Structure 1
Amino acid sequence: MSQTEEGVFLLRPRTLFHFPPVDVCCHTCDNMCTGRCSRCIAVTLYPLALISIICNIVLFFPDANTKYAKDGHITEEVKYMGGLVGGGIMVLLPALYIHLTGKQGCCGNRCGMFLSIAFAAVGVAGALYNLSVAALGLKNGPLCKVLLIWSTPFKDSDYLTDDTWWVKCTEPRNIVQFNTGLFGTLLACGCLQLVLCAIQMINGLFGCLCGTCSKKTII
């Protein structure tokens, strides 16, 4: 109700429901700072991808010797290149793009955040591949020389909890510890990469709907 200059009171129509402006909703979402979150995720993915690549390459040279790779006496799961391709390239490339969405420019906008969802999905696929190969490598155990025969003596066994059987492998030296340590590292990296890329998919969705937290969001 309001009063005019003549002193006559007029009734002001009221609505039953009051919806806040769209800008207010998006401002609330912007406070989540999706751009900054993208940068943090990308910076964390970089070392994880690098570690995965290094671990996969090192796995080709047990006992720091190249002869096993030349003779083909390498654990089968190493040849799948889960760390090099999955946890490495398939995570590193999305990480580079995700990093760009956290900056002002061609990718730091709603369209860029939408595309980051697809890139993050590629990272999820790579992380899953890395994780699966590493888990399979730990489960089957290393290829090693038992007496005069090259085989995988620990396949379908609980060798990880019973190290008394590790002496069965006479060559390469300390191959069980070597494979277990590197495949275990790849498994941990794959798990972290999977979680981070999944978070970026959710973050990208919010960024697509409401924009990044940059001072000037380019639509």
Structure 2
Amino acid sequence: MCTGSCAKCLGITLIPLAVLGFLANVLLFFPGGKVIDNNDNLSEEVWYFGGILGSGILMIFPALVFLGLKTNDCGGCCGNEGCGKRFAMFTSTIFAVIGFLGAAYSFSVSAISINKGPKCLTSNSTWGYPFDNGDYLIDTSLWNKCQKPEDIVPWNLTLFSILLIIGGLQMFLCAIQVVNGLLGTLCGDCQCCGCCGGDGPV
């Protein structure tokens, strides 16, 4: 299997995931699908921009790099196309690590928020976090502790769960590209074409 083709497939997969992560984070600013009166009443983790920065913007750059690897030889290396492709694959490994860190950030923020629960107006007419260590996840009757915004618990839980899954998938795909990039660096674009065997076809 050609490492450049594998990278292109990963890039094609990462782009829609990045867009979904971006949109999920944007929707978190509209609890229950409505505009909130005071932005201070939004959950703290919404402002960490896990989906916008981590799973979104930081993931677009690696995805675009991966997409271009099949045809990119960095202009050759000392006139050697194969060497240029190896350098391009090495560069993709660096971008894959950046993407992995971005996805890990989004994953961590989402996990913390899911465990913490949303910020909401409680029964004693104060805004805060009424849940403790994810207790609301196993006991849905506790959701009544949140009076406003309406449906804030399922809204936040659903969107942060989506971000958690997206972050996990992105970390997995970027980890694959780290391995794929290292193979491409050592063996050229196609492992089947004289792997690590000098200047054979790439």
C-alpha separation in 1, matches of 2:66 and 2:134 = 41
Are the structure 2 counterparts of residues 46 and 187 from structure 1 closer, same or farther at C-alpha, using a change threshold of 3 Å?
same
Corresponding residue of 1:144: 120
Match of 2:130 in 1: 153
> Structure 2 CA distance, aligned partners of 1:74 and 1:206?
45
* Matching of residue 81 in structure 1 with residue 54 in structure 2: no
Deviation string 1:80-104 (CA, Å, 9 cap, x unpaired) is 0111101111111111111111225
In the TM superposition, residue 211 of structure 1 has moved relative to its aligned partner by 1.3
Measure, in 2, the Cα distance between the counterparts of 1:114 and 1:84. 27
Question: Structure 1's 71 and 203: CA in aligned 2 closer, same or farther, altered over 3 A?
Answer: closer
Which SS does the other structure have where 2:21 is aligned? helix
Of residues 4, 21, 30, the one that matches 1:52 is 21
Aligned-pair distance for 1:72? 1.6
The within-5 A match list for 1:61-210 is 61-68=30-37, 70-106=38-74, 109-147=85-123, 148-210=125-187
Q: How much does 1:71 deviate?
A: 3.7
Deviation at 1:159, TM superposition (A): 0.8
- CA shift for structure 1 position 210: 1.5
Deviations 1:100-136 (A, max 9, x none): 1122553871110000010000001001001000000
Amino acid at match of 1:111: F
Contact 2:114–2:134 under 8 Å retained in 1: no
CA distance in 2, matches of 1:56, 1:129: 13
- Take 1:84 and 1:126, find their aligned partners in 2: how far apart are those partners? 10
Q: Larger Cα Rg: Structure 1 or Structure 2?
A: 1
- Deviations 1:135-191 (CA, angstroms, capped at 9, x unpaired): 001000000001311010013241111101101111001100000000000000000
Instruction: Please give the TM-score of this superposition, normalised by the length of structure 1.
Output: 0.80
Q: Which amino acid aligns with 1:114?
A: F
Identity of aligned residues (%): 43
Write the distance in 2 (CA, Å) between the matches of 1:80 and 1:211. Answer: 39
Does the aligned pair in 1 maintain the 2:29–2:42 contact within 8 Å? yes
Bigger drift between 103-112 and 200-209 goes to 103-112
Summarize the Cα distance change of 1:144–1:54 in structure 2 as closer, same or farther, 3 Å threshold: same
Report SS of the residue matched to 1:109: helix
Change beyond 3 A, Cα 1:208–1:157: closer
Q: Kindly tell me: are residues 162 and 208 of structure 1, through their superposed partners in 2, closer, same or farther at Cα, counting changes over 3 Å?
A: same
* Structure 1 residue 54, shift from structure 2 partner: 0.3
Structure 1: which 5+ residue stretches go unaligned? 1-31
Asked if the contact 2:74/2:87 (under 8 Å) is kept, the reply is no
Tell me how far apart the structure 1 counterparts of residues 99 and 134 of structure 2 sit (CA, whole Å).
Answer: 32
Q: Which residue of 2 aligns with 1:6?
A: none
Look up the match of 1:211.
188
Question: Secondary structure of the residue that 1:159 maps to in structure 2?
Answer: helix
Distance 1:66 1:161, change over 3 A: same
Aligned AA (1:102): K
